[in-house]
Amino acid sequence: MAGRPLDDIDKQILDELTRNARIPHAELADRVLLSRNAVRQRVERLERDGHIQGYTIVPGEGDRAAAPVAAMIFVHRHDRVRGGDVIMALRRMPDIVTCDVMSGELDLVLRVETARPDRIQEIWSEISALPGVRDTVTSVVLSTLIGRWAPVPPSTAGQWPGAGPARA
């Protein structure tokens, strides 16, 4: 990440975009008390400097028949320290939507989403066969009760990792 550290206005812009990535620049400008052009320039800089890597949608209920089948796959590796090959292989699997490194008994927790239930078993087989994977446990998601797609929690609003000290 190049560029200058985030200031309070940059953090406000990131907070607003996290809540609603489609907010018009004019509305965003009103909220952060800048001109629309200044907001546009800041957003472009935040993108260029890597603070914004992309924009996404929050899936709605829509057509439940077309909803993805989700599963959590818990992975135990033979060697946590040298288990990078497993992670590189997982990155190439497009059905894996998240991969979290865990402390404690588990090594990795994967969230897999696919259109077909039988694809979950195929993915499980691929992961289980990877050199370096000792064991897996798979649980199918029955329903998602809370789906926060990366909002900024109120207690940490404006506190972005690596943001450094705010400038006036």
- Among 138, 137, 75, smallest CA distance to 106 is for 75
Decide if 21 is inside a domain.
yes
The rounded Cα 32 to chain-centroid distance in angstroms is 25
- Determine the pLDDT at residue 159: 46
- Determine the pLDDT at residue 128: 95
Q: What is the rounded distance in angstroms from the CA atom of residue 144 to the CA atom of residue 128?
A: 25
CATH number reported for the structural domain that contains residue 89 in this entry: 3.30.70.920
Decide if 86 is inside a domain.
yes
Decide if 156 is inside a domain.
no
Domain that holds residue 15: 8-57
Same domain, 38 and 106: no
53, with CB counted inside 10 A (0-12, 13-18, 19+), is exposed
Amino acid letter, 12: Q
- Determine the pLDDT at residue 130: 94
Decide if 106 is inside a domain.
yes
Same domain, 50 and 85: no
Instruction: State the pLDDT confidence band at 27, using cuts at 50, 70 and 90.
Output: very high
- Determine the pLDDT at residue 97: 92
Same domain, 80 and 128: yes
pLDDT one-digit tens code per residue, 71-102: 999 999 988 766 788 999 999 999 999 999 99
Q: What is the rounded distance in angstroms from the CA atom of residue 24 to the CA atom of residue 2?
A: 26
70, β-bridge pairs: 113
Decide if 15 is inside a domain.
yes
Same domain, 73 and 46: no
Same domain, 70 and 115: yes
- Answer whether residue 166 shows pLDDT above 50: no
- Answer whether residue 35 shows pLDDT above 80: yes
pLDDT one-digit tens code per residue, 110-163: 999 998 889 999 999 999 999 999 999 999 999 888 776 654 444 444 444 444
- Rg (alpha carbons) of the chain, rounded to whole number: 20
Same domain, 46 and 96: no
Same domain, 101 and 126: yes
Decide if 87 is inside a domain.
yes
Q: What is the rounded distance in angstroms from the CA atom of residue 136 to the CA atom of residue 77?
A: 9
CATH number reported for the structural domain that contains residue 49 in this entry: 1.10.10.10
- Determine the pLDDT at residue 153: 46
C-beta of residue 29 within 8 angstroms of C-beta of residue 36: yes
Q: Which residues, 6 or more positions from 105, have their beta carbon under 8 angstroms from its beta carbon?
A: none
Decide if 79 is inside a domain.
yes
